[in-house]
Structure 1
Amino acid sequence: MPPTHADAAANAVPFSRPDLGDAEEAAVLRCMRSGWLTTGPEAAELERCFAEAVGTDHAVAVSSCTAAMHLALEGLGVGPGDRVITSVLTFTATAEAIRLCGAEPLLVDVAPETLDLDITEVERHLSTDSRIRAILPVHYAGQACRMDRLLELASRYDVRIVEDAAHAFPTRFQGRYVGSIGDATAFSLYANKPLTTGEGGLLTTNNEALAQWARRARLHGIERTANTEQGQTRWRYEVTDAGYKYNLPDLAAALALPQLERADQARARREAIATYYSNQLAGLPLCLPAIRDNVSDHAWHLFPIQLDIEALELSRDGFIDALAEHGIGASVHFIPLHRHRYWRECLDLRAEDFPVAEVAGQRLVSLPIYPGLTDAQVERVADTVTTLLRSHCR
């Protein structure tokens, strides 16, 4: 007998839930009681700790991953007339950050197994388009892209790499943490991310000039170093650059610091859930996430499956609705950008140019995967997926 709405509500498994507790509450209260809520010592401490965690020289706390990508691209010289390669299977913010620089997103299809940038397509565009100034790879679901091949291409064609690591903390590729590999990396601190401040982001880089510029640009282009020179008063400042309102408040930064301390523990829990799902769902009419042999420390921000629609009597949307009737949240990552009216029209995109993303976009379902899931909830998700798919096979 199918569950009633009351049963589903009482036993709901939300798609995502932040991993917050007493330590986060204490950190926020400490910040509140200090009387300093906007960008200050807590943000500076988050920058220091995060840079140390990913092994990079600099981290700059900002208001979103979008802001981090925008600042990184602009700070590296991307501007009007330039093109930036990125994935068609991503959230709109990735392409939006390119647009904010006045540049044009050059969308590329994804690899069939891992759904990250198709390296062959990247190379094809680089070899024929002299307007390309940068590559913006998306570390899809928390697995690192083939950074070795992208770095080689970037060196050969003299372009920069700015990584979209919204899903990828903590993630490593060939022993190096994402955040210390490309010219710059953008992380998300959004509400459903492994490290969250509700809203927020971090830009990491080994480029000191970029980091210094980003710190000024995130707050209206203001330079405050003169405040302590020659006895000048604290109110004095100078605007040295055109800037933005991209700073991260201390109240938000304080929320992230305790989570950062247990980031490896949280990643291990997500990996354990992913392993359980993979074992339990094997043999069903779906494709499980593909993992490369040389990958270590997959962040497992998402667990995306692809349904074998031809073998089923229900659509992808129908499957998500059925999960919801059983009280289980699910989502889709992503609706490919060529399926959105804005990007389709302004970039003149056609579905036939993105065959892999076009098919995946109609099959993808992301299952719940976060540290707060109990073993019983994880088992329930896997059992429900199994029952639904077996009962709807053709």
Structure 2
Amino acid sequence: MPAEIRADWATKDFYQVLGVPKTATQAEIKKAYRKLARENHPDSNPGDSRKHDTFKSVAEAYDVVGDPERRKAYDDYRTQVATGPFPGGFGGGGGGFRPPGGFDISDVIRGHAGGFGDVFGDFFGGAGAGSQRPGQSARARPIRGSDVETSATIGFTDSVEGVTISLRLTSDSPCPECKGTGGKPGTKPHICTTCEGAGFVVSGVGGAFSLNETCPTCHGRQLVYDESCPVCHGSGRGTSARSIQARIPAGVRDGQRIRIKGKGGAGENGGPAGDLFVTVKVAPHRLFGRKDDNLTIDVPISFDEAALGADVKIPTLGGAPVTLKIPAGTPNGRTFRVRGRGAKKKDGTNGDLLATVQVQVPAVLNERAREAVAAYRAATEGSTLRSNLFEQASS
């Protein structure tokens, strides 16, 4: 199925929103989106409406140009908008585009029962919204369902290993009484006279260029009824509550936005369902942390283990314990890497476990321990540990 074209794409530069050139690779687009999403995420900027709006704009831009198929449709559409379907495009004098022959582009659009869909044909993915011809029965065009946003909180272990969760959703859906037509059941439809069955009306978006917008009378359905549905009052829309099972992939990060295709609002007249976007929040773990695709852990060790060396057994997340070989003379804060015991990466491999040792100083010593430490002090008397401290302070 061809990518959906939206009229508002004509006035939105998604590359500028993400701060990348039009020639950017998909990897560069993803990197820019992640950076801006982190900087402007509502959870990190509570009460900052400007950053909240920026986050929404960034998410919308990435939803389009982050998908290769939708990006191509977006680029083609904006190129067509800039050049127009006739020589010279839609630009020109203040009176709007008027090709040879003395007719206006709006006349062309109005003169086709299918509107823009017949003028541009395959560019919009097939026949126009109202592609009926004289003698054909009225038939409403399919309308894609709305996208749905929700959030879910999962445990730290589930974020590393992946989990299937149950989500309770309330979304826009066709009215159960009229099945989305907007008319009273039992009444017959007729073609909307406002848009002449096209499903849209022509309006200006700036300068001399005109663009189609959803018809305010039939709401894009092309058909109207003499009597409106008593339940939805002609809107054709209602709400539905449902539960779905959603798979959260292994390795998901806190704040990551996951797109689940086809799980959004139901479409109309056989149109496809919208998508579901789930923002995942990961609960912290009491022991483990995370840094990129690596897990982290702080490991307490004693002074003698740091000084003399030791084999220290530590836990891993969801796996068997491993043994760290602490060499003699290990300083406080040194980090050891355990390969393959981190979070799942996109390529299917695992990150590492980063174990940082923390040398512990006992608050209380028994008599034998005190004597041993005193003997150590005596044995190391005259140490040059702080010999150049004052020299460096005065230099």
Alignment TM-score, normalising by the size of structure 2:
0.22
Q: Bigger radius of gyration, 1 or 2? A: 2
More helix by share: 1
> Which structure carries more relative contact order (alpha carbon 8 Å, separation 6+)?
1
